[in-house]
């Protein structure tokens, strides 16, 4: 296990860059060697303490001059593939934001570049770090729910429907690739396969754009070209039916991400708003009898489990680079799995039929 100082850089200094820098701050022996963003540094949204980090407007110059060991890619989705490949070509490991890429072909090229370079590549599926999601995964893997029977997943927000919320790159298909489907849907796809351990086989889906236009930050009206909401039905390994719904225009919802599963001997639900609780009714005797009273008691996670926090993706990659045995992070292979589903949902929408997840 090597303890030499790791050189770390960030490309894209917007909102999510703070999550990456905060994750890195939990790891000893990592030096921030540079941050790159084409916007004026006054607009960068870094956490406190990074004002003196070397600043670049050109990511290629940052990589050439600072030679980082690990790079976080925190830009709009359009640039993920190009920048990840550039970072691998400069000998760096990569922690990339989700969705991995704009298309399945781009995501495949990213994984191929990672494998050629022999580097770590992680996708920031940040909900994997919620303790409730991790505990749910353990319950399923240990068989506490018995044979899995059904999955339902919803991820609802309201912010995009608010008139005061300006148009942004997220509403431009050419920069984002997807709307709610890519922004929230990938977390749902990854979350369900993370908790169940299952993969997707086929899917039929539908997406809509319920807001035609919005003013941008300068007050000019802009047309939305991305979806504001989507729903899909899919079949998991073993024929299990999983239903999904996402929206960014659902009044009353903040950041409501819920996964519910039933097996032969129990039902379990986790919710992003309550990361240290789960809803569970399980056990062979309890579930042996029919009930007409719906009752999924909310339970606190065991204290001992609460101590086992994992750092989000860039922190996990630092541990993996150092060869720590418990190191773990969502990989490019996980990103590809979600990207295959996004691709198949798009195919199903075009053909108005089931699509196989290839």
Ligand X SMILES: NC(=O)c1ccc[n+]([C@@H]2O[C@H](COP(=O)([O-])OP(=O)(O)OC[C@H]3O[C@@H](n4cnc5c(N)ncnc54)[C@H](O)[C@@H]3O)[C@@H](O)[C@H]2O)c1
Residues at the site binding ligand X, with contacts judged by CB under 6 A: 11-16, 36-39, 59, 74-77, 79, 97-98, 124, 126, 183
Q: Which residue is nearest to ligand X (CB)?
A: 14
Least CB distance from residue 4 to ligand X, whole Å? 28
Give the nearer residue to ligand X in terms of CB position, either 79 or 133.
79
The CB-of-122 to ligand X minimum distance in angstroms stands at 11
Rounded Cα distance between 79 and 84, Å, is 8
Sheet strands (E) in the chain: 6-11, 30-36, 55-56, 70-73, 93-96, 121-123, 148-156, 200-208, 213-215, 221-223, 229-236, 241-247, 256-263, 266-271, 277-282, 298-300, 355-356
Residue among 17 and 267 whose Cβ is closer to ligand X: 17
**What is the closest distance, in whole angstroms, from the C-beta atom of residue 26 to ligand X in the complex?**
17
Residue (156 or 204) nearer to ligand X, CB = 156
Is the CB of residue 313 less than 8 Å from the CB of residue 122?
yes
- The least CB distance from residue 101 to ligand X, in Å, is 10
Q: H/E/C letters for each residue in 171-202?
A: HCHHHHCCCHHHHCHHHHHHHHHHHHCCCEEE
Q: Give the Cα-Cα-Cα angle 15, 18, 21 (nearest 5 degrees).
A: 150
3-class DSSP state of 43: helix
* Distance of closest approach, residue 98 Cβ to ligand X, in angstroms: 5
Min dist CB 92 to ligand X, Å, is 15
The Cα–Cα gap between 261 and 135 comes to 13
Return the number of the residue (14 or 166) whose C-beta is nearest ligand X. 14
Residue 169 or 305: the one with the smaller Cβ distance to ligand X is 169
- Residue with Cβ nearer ligand X (136 or 312): 312
Q: What angle do CA 190, 196, 201 make, to 5 degrees?
A: 70
């Amino acid at each position: 296990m090597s303890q030499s100082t790791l050189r770390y850089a960030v490309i894209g200094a917007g909102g999510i860059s703070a999550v990456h820098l905060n994750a890195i701050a939990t790891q000893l022996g990592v030096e921030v060697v540079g941050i790159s963003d084409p916007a004026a540094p006054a607009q960068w949204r870094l956490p406190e303490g990074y004002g003196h980090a070397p600043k670049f407007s050109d990511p290629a110059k940052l990589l050439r001059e600072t030679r980082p060991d690990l790079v976080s890619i925190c830009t709009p989705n359009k640039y993920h593939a190009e920048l990840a490949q550039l970072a691998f070509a400069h000998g760096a490991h990569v922690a990339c934001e989700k969705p991995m890429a704009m298309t399945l072909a781009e995501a495949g090229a990213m994984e191929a570049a990672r494998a050629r370079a022999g580097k770590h590549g992680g996708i920031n599926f940040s909900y994997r770090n919620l303790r409730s999601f991790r505990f749910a995964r353990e319950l399923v893997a240990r068989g506490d729910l018995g044979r899995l029977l059904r999955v339902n997943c919803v991820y609802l927000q309201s912010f995009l429907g608010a008139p005061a919320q300006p148009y942004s790159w997220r509403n431009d298909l050419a920069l984002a690739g997807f709307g709610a489907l890519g922004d929230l849907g990938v977390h749902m796809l990854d979350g369900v396969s993370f908790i169940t351990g299952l993969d997707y086989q086929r899917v039929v889906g539908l997406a809509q754009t319920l807001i035609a236009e919005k003013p941008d930050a300068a007050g000019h009206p802009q047309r939305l070209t991305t979806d504001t909401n989507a729903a899909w039905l899919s079949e998991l390994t073993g024929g299990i039916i999983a239903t999904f719904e996402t929206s960014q225009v659902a009044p009353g919802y903040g950041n409501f991400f819920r996964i519910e599963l039933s097996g032969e001997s129990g039902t379990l639900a986790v919710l992003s708003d309550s990361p240290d609780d789960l809803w569970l009714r399980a056990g062979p005797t309890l579930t042996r009898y029919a009930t007409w009273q719906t009752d999924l008691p909310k339970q606190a996670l065991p204290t001992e489990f609460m101590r086992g926090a994992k750092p989000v993706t860039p922190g996990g990659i630092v541990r993996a680079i150092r060869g720590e045995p418990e190191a773990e992070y969502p990989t490019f292979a996980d990103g590809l799995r979600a990207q295959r589903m996004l691709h198949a949902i798009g195919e199903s929408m075009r053909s108005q039929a089931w699509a196989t997840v290839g």
